[in-house]
Every structure is written in structure tokens, then in C-alpha cells.
Amino acid sequence: MNRRLFLCTGNYYRSRFAEIFFNWNAEQQGLPWEAESRGLALVKANVGPLSPHIVARLTDRGIPLIAHQRLPRAVTHDDFEAADHIVAVKEAEHRPLIDAKFPAWVDRVEFWEVHDVDYAEADVAIPLLEDQVLRLLARLA
């Protein structure tokens, strides 16, 4: 199984959406890939396992959420080691965190530009994440 690792700040919204959307699409296409997601600086203000924004979008897409009810997780060195491909969803936000905490890995990370809810509404950010994930799947195929 080829492993993808999606990173964001809190592992509550962007990286979790990317993980779930990637895994669902990979399974639908019969691809031998699996994604996980982690956070670079967990945020205590996040309540519950998933952002309501992604719950709504995934539900609208008919993607089951029952298997995704875990709390956000912080990234570890082992997560980087286990990944065949690493994506951080916003370079300006995440490159400094990776460089400070995991400098040996920063050159192996693909950086996207998907803003968090403080800069972009969910109806803008989530479709961008969907597009990026689908492009990644197409590249990997």
C-alpha cells in the first residue's frame, strides 16, 4: 500500500478533508493508495473529531463518515517515515512549522495553497482541496 500524508495546522479541517476525500476516491478507483493526515500545531479550540464544514461537504458528497470519528492527531517523525508522499496544504503557513520541527523533511514535502477558514470561506477552500486531491490522484495514476 502506498501511503500519502496530508498535513495542516490542526488536523481538523483541511488535512482531514484531504485524507477522507483521497481515500474515498482511491477506493472508488481501485487504487492501492491510502492517506492519513496529521496536524503540525494542534488547536485546543477545535471541538470534536471533524470540522462541521467538512462534515457537511462529505455528507453532501455521500461519503460515509463513520470510520473517521477520531480526534485530531499531531504529526510525528514516524508519520514522515511511513509516508511515500507528503503534502502540506498551505506553504506559507506550514513550511515554517515543518522547518522548525522536522527540518530534515521539508524538501520532501509538496506544498499547496489552500487557506484556512480565517482567510477563505469553506465554500471556496473545500472545492480547491477537492481539485488538488483529484489532480494528485491523476498524477499518481
CATH of the domain at 78: 3.40.50.2300
Alpha-carbon gap, residue 6 to 14, rounded angstroms: 9
Q: Which residues contact 135 (CB under 8 A, 6 or more apart)?
A: none
Residue 27 pLDDT > 70, yes or no?
Answer: yes
What would the pLDDT profile of 14-26 be if each residue is shown by its tens digit?
999 999 999 999 9
| Predicted local confidence at residue 44, as pLDDT | 86
Residue 1's pLDDT band, with cuts at 50, 70 and 90, is low
Q: Which residues contact 111 (CB under 8 A, 6 or more apart)?
A: 87, 88, 90, 91, 94, 95
Number of domains in the chain: 1
- Residues 35 and 129: beta-carbon distance below 8 Å: no
Range of the domain at 54: 2-140
| Predicted local confidence at residue 83, as pLDDT | 97
Residue 135's pLDDT band, with cuts at 50, 70 and 90, is very high
| Predicted local confidence at residue 6, as pLDDT | 98
What would the pLDDT profile of 68-123 be if each residue is shown by its tens digit?
889 999 999 999 999 999 999 999 999 999 999 999 999 999 999 999 888 889 88
What would the pLDDT profile of 30-78 be if each residue is shown by its tens digit?
999 999 999 999 988 888 899 999 999 999 999 998 888 899 999 999 9
Question: What are phi and psi for residue 55, nearest 5 degrees?
Answer: -60, -45
pTM equals 0.95
